[in-house]
Amino acid sequence: MGGELGQAVPRELSVVVPARDEAPNLRPLYDELSEVAAREGLALEIIFIDDGSADATWSVIAGLCAEDARVRGVRLRRNFGKSAALAAGFDAASAPLVLTIDGDGQDDPAEIPAMLSKLDEGFDVVSGWKRERNDPGGRVAASRLFNFMVRRLSDLRLHDFNCGLKLMRREVAAEIDLYGELHRFIPVMAHSQGFRVCEVAVNHRPRRAGESKFTGAGRGLRGALDLLVVKFLTSYRGRPQHALGVAGALAFGLGALIMAYLAVTWVVRLWSPQAFLPLSDRPLLIYGIAALIIGAQMISLGFVAALITSYHARGRPTYRVLERAGAHDAAQDDHRGGCAGRDGERDGVASKARDDRAGGG
């Protein structure tokens, strides 16, 4: 189906390839992408992001750019991490569709047609599922634990959230803010914005050359912390005072109960000093005071977060329009970041979000 569509109107696709010390792997990946594009009739642009490589990665990218006008390169000043590299690629992408693929050669470009067919079904994000992984056993076990945790803390039921092979519409890439290591949660963040997300099983190959850059126990800890951040952002982004307020109220209530109990014991001691220990000898008093202070601080922090959210949201839409029908005021559409019609709405949202991000950078 992808080939028939390509013969009529070539589908434009931006391929974002984050790479760090992947010099031996980039040209074979480029050859495979070019082969798929020729077979499927895709109008391709390939954007290589050199994320602070210490080898000849940039020389390879520069050579490919000189050979093929479809290839573009972005060289970061240092290693900023995969999320930052993907964000740089998203900013540079110009096609209506954006594909992310790792530069190590483990992701198979031959899966692109199957992913495109899922977009034709109406999905906005197609995430790869490495059903059979070619990785060390420890890494596979850690990945399964990570995916289990994400499924439990989100309402998105995917098998593999962190596959490097993902296909999305451009407005999805424009809407998602990537920093830290949030690239592992792109499907979750897209789903929280109302985009339709699915996954397809993809071929996962052994690494051609080099070593994985994503190892160590520290990465697992960072992933757990990022998961909590994503949970907070997706559940309480527009109402942070709810999360902080509830937690603060519980802490304050616990402290109030402790202090009430201690007050009763103090009164009882007026008539029966032997019934309870003096308050000065009871650590429960310290716990009660601490709970009151922590609760009050969290409630206050919730109000501050609400003020910040209100200020940030001023003049910005709190919704995302899928499509419009009938006559609409052009100024209203422009102000809200969309035009009448599904494609126009997406292009408007993508342009506005990309301009905002560029202005902030």
DSSP state of 352: H
Q: Say whether both 55 and 161 belong to one domain.
A: yes
- Does residue 269 lie within any of the structural domains? yes
Closest CA to 119 of 69, 171, 57: 171
Q: Say whether both 189 and 47 belong to one domain.
A: yes
- Does residue 321 lie within any of the structural domains? no
Q: Say whether both 71 and 151 belong to one domain.
A: yes
- Does residue 163 lie within any of the structural domains? yes
> What does each of the 361 residues of the chain score in pLDDT, given as a tens digit?
444 444 456 789 999 999 999 999 999 999 999 999 999 999 999 999 999 899 999 999 999 999 999 999 999 988 888 888 999 999 899 999 999 999 988 899 999 999 999 999 999 999 998 887 766 666 677 778 877 888 887 878 888 888 889 999 999 998 888 877 788 889 988 988 889 999 999 988 888 776 766 555 556 666 667 777 777 666 666 566 666 777 888 999 999 999 999 999 888 888 888 888 888 788 888 999 999 999 888 888 877 766 665 565 455 554 555 555 455 444 444 444 443 333 444 444 444 444 544 444 4
Q: Do residues 291 and 254 make contact, with C-beta atoms less than 8 angstroms apart?
A: yes
CA-CA distance, 322 to 165, in Å (whole number)?
25
Where would I find the H helices in the chain? 2-8, 23-40, 57-67, 82-92, 112-120, 137-153, 170-175, 186-192, 217-236, 240-271, 284-313, 330-335, 342-360
CA-CA distance, 68 to 89, in Å (whole number)?
18
Q: Say whether both 305 and 335 belong to one domain.
A: no
Phi/psi of residue 322, nearest 5 degrees: -80, -50
Q: Say whether both 224 and 259 belong to one domain.
A: no
- Does residue 319 lie within any of the structural domains? no
Q: CA 143, 144, 148, 149 torsion: positive or negative?
A: negative
Q: Say whether both 223 and 267 belong to one domain.
A: no
Q: Say whether both 7 and 71 belong to one domain.
A: yes
How far is C-alpha 158 from the geometric centre of its chain's CA atoms? 14
Among 234, 257, 288, the domain boundary falls at: 234
DSSP strand pairing (71-75 vs 42-50):
parallel
Among 208, 234, 260, the domain boundary falls at: 234
Q: Do residues 105 and 134 make contact, with C-beta atoms less than 8 angstroms apart?
A: no
Q: How many CA atoms lie within 13 A of 117 on its CB side?
A: 11
Q: Say whether both 336 and 297 belong to one domain.
A: no
The pLDDT value recorded for residue 351 is: 46
251 exposed, middle or buried (CB, 10 Å; 0-12, 13-18, 19+)? buried
Classify 83 as helix, strand or coil. helix
Q: Say whether both 43 and 79 belong to one domain.
A: yes
Q: Say whether both 352 and 261 belong to one domain.
A: no
The pLDDT value recorded for residue 274 is: 80
Closest CA to 46 of 75, 14, 83, 12: 14
DSSP strand pairing (11-19 vs 71-75):
unpaired
How many domains does the chain divide into?
Answer: 3
**In CATH, what number is assigned to the domain containing residue 114?**
3.90.550.10
Q: Say whether both 298 and 346 belong to one domain.
A: no
DSSP state of 283: T
- Does residue 318 lie within any of the structural domains? no
- Does residue 324 lie within any of the structural domains? no
- Does residue 322 lie within any of the structural domains? no
The pLDDT value recorded for residue 210 is: 66
Among 234, 269, 285, the domain boundary falls at: 234
DSSP state of 168: E
- Does residue 245 lie within any of the structural domains? yes
Domain around 211: 2-234
Residue 354 corresponds to which tokens in the numbers above? 């990309």
Classify 180 as helix, strand or coil. coil
Q: Say whether both 47 and 92 belong to one domain.
A: yes
CA-CA distance, 338 to 346, in Å (whole number)?
7
The pLDDT value recorded for residue 307 is: 65
